Amino acid sequence: MDGVIWKGSPNHYKGRHGYAITHITLHIMVGYLAGTDSTFANQSSQASAHYGIGATGEIHQYVSEANGSYSDANYMSNNSTISIEHEGGMAHGAVCTQACIDASARLCADIARRYGWKKLWHDGLKGNVWLHREIPGTDHAGCPDLAPNGLPFQQVIDKANDILNGKTTNQERKENMAEMLFKNTDDGKVYYWNILTGCKYIGVPDQLEILKAAGVPMHETSSKGPWMTRAQEITDTTMATINATINAQAAAIETLSKSLGADPGQIAEAVKKAVADKLDSLHITIKAED
């Protein structure tokens, strides 16, 4: 799966000791991803999992899937599972976020595909998704779902199955586009967003004035601006359209950089022509949705 960050842990079996991989075990960290990284890196802890997912959806890998992990307090399960830890599980501290849940669903779907599982389901130890608290030998009675701010495991399973079935809802497309295009920090800076692509730009007055003079439609807002609303307005703009428009913008910037030292009016005209040439045959559909 793309985007997984290898951390590595010395705490694991060598191989699977004759066991086949039959299930995923879901865990809650009762803490943060950074603390889990540290614990699993420490050989004296004798603890590990195959994966850990943080509040932002970042996925770390500690043990190769070719090896059993020290995760479930059960030799058989350790050697037949792929174990996943999730940030959260604290009443006053780490919580299990939606980003973590969504990343877990993607990871579970990826695992299922690779091992030929058509569907994920939980039914105690009969399904192919196990909860740590249900495995004989463990003393983690709240793991992963009964702890404060625990993991809503059924949501993970349902989302993973939707991915396996090729289902992506319109709302999920909105959320994914918003996450990709409009993530920003509350730093008080002035931002601009392009109504064609939704892409934001940190305020650089000279450059932005030239772009606007060239006819590139821009909207000014602060970093506290309604990025999610802007995302919803371009939900039906295809990724191909976005990429093509970004390429046009890149051409404009290239033209701008080659025109350094020219009269501002000439620069604006050059940029306008470059953008027009790239966008001449581009068809864009923008649809606002409730």
pLDDT digits (tens, 9 = 90+) for 129-158: 999 999 999 999 999 999 999 999 999 999
Confidence of residue 161 (pLDDT cuts 50, 70, 90): very high
Residue 183: what pLDDT? 44
* Of the candidates 214, 289, 205, 217, the residue with the CA atom closest to the CA atom of residue 255: 214
CA atoms within 13 A on the CB side of 285: 8
Distances (CA, A) of 107 to 50, 84, 95, 102, 188: 11, 9, 19, 9, 35
pLDDT digits (tens, 9 = 90+) for 240-255: 555 566 666 666 666 6
pLDDT digits (tens, 9 = 90+) for 73-130: 999 999 999 999 999 999 999 999 999 999 999 999 999 999 999 999 999 999 999 9
pTM: 0.61
Residue 2: what pLDDT? 86
* Of the candidates 68, 75, 49, the residue with the CA atom closest to the CA atom of residue 60: 49
